Amino acid sequence: MSTTLAPYKVEFLKAAIDGGILKFGSFELKSKRISPYFFNAGNFYSANLLRAISTAYAKTIIEASTSSTPLEFDILFGPAYKGIPLACATVDKLADLLPEKYGKVCYSFDRKEAKDHGEGGNIVGAPLKGKRVLIVDDVVTAGTAKREAIDKIRKEGGIVVGILVALDRMEKLPAPNGDNPSTPMPSAIGEIRKEYGIPVLSILTLNDIIGGLKGKISEEDIRQMQEYKDKYRASD
C-alpha cells in the first residue's frame, strides 16, 4: 500500500479489499452509470471488519477534532439501517481510543416507522434535543437519505454539526437534462455542504483509492478508475 496515506487509511483500504468490500470490475450504479469499482459498506459484517471500519471512522473524527476548526459533537447518529451498527461501533471505538474525551459520547438512530406504543417516537438511543449531532453513514449517493436524517434530527431539536461517510466517490450528480459527461455538475456531498453549511468528511476519497493502490492492483483497474473519475468529476 502507498505510504502517502495516513496509516489508518492504508489499514482501512487493505481491510476493504481483503474483505471484498471494495471490488473492481464492471458495476451498474443506481445512477445507471457503469463504474469500474464498487464499495459496499454493508459487507463489514464480521467482527474483524467491523473493528476495521469503526477504527477508521474514529480516527477520522479524532483527526478532524484536532484541526483548525475542531469537530465537536455530543451524539453520533446512524441513519437506519446501515448507519446503525456504524454509529454504535464508532462510539465504542472512540471511547476506547480517547476515553477522557469520548467516554460519555452517545449514539442514536432512527426508526423507519414511528413506534406507536410504549415510549413511541422515531428515535432510539440518546435524546437529540439541544445536542450537537454528527451523522455517520456509509456513502452519499444522491443525498436524499442524508437530507431526511438532517430533517429528523432537527425536528427532534438536535443540531447537525457534520456528516461522516466511508467513501467520497468525488462524482457529480446526473444533469437534469440527461447524464451528459460534459455538463458541469456538483457532487451530492458538495450540494449538502452548500445547502446546510456543514462539513461532510470521508475516510477515503477516490483519489485515495487510486493513489493508494498504484502498483498493488492491475494497471488496467487503475486506468479505468482514473478515466471514470475524469469523466464524471464533480465541479465542486
The pairing of beta strand 22-28 with beta strand 34-39: antiparallel
Instruction: For residue 23, indicate whether it is catalytic.
Output: no
**How many angstroms separate the CA atoms of 84 and 31, rounded?**
25
Burial of 158: CB neighbours in 10 Å, binned 0-12, 13-18, 19+ = buried
DSSP letter for each residue of 146-206 = HHHHHHHHHHTT-EEEEEEEEEE--BBPPPTT---TTS---BHHHHHHHHH---EEEEEEH
- Count of C-beta atoms within a 10 Å radius of residue 101: 12
The three grid cell numbers given for residue 222, joined into one nine-digit string:
487503475
Known catalytic membership, residue 214: no
Q: What is the DSSP letter of 217?
A: S
124: which 3 cell numbers? 432510539
Task: Give helix 7-18 / helix 206-213 axis angle, nearest 10°.
Answer: 80
Distance of alpha carbon 192 from alpha carbon 200, whole angstroms: 8
Measured CA to CA, the distance from residue 206 to residue 87 in angstroms comes to: 23
Residue in 115, 155, 216, 231 annotated catalytic: 115
Pairing of strands 106-115, 75-78: parallel
Query: Of the residues 30, 32, 104, 117, which is catalytic?
Result: 117
Catalytic residues: 115, 117
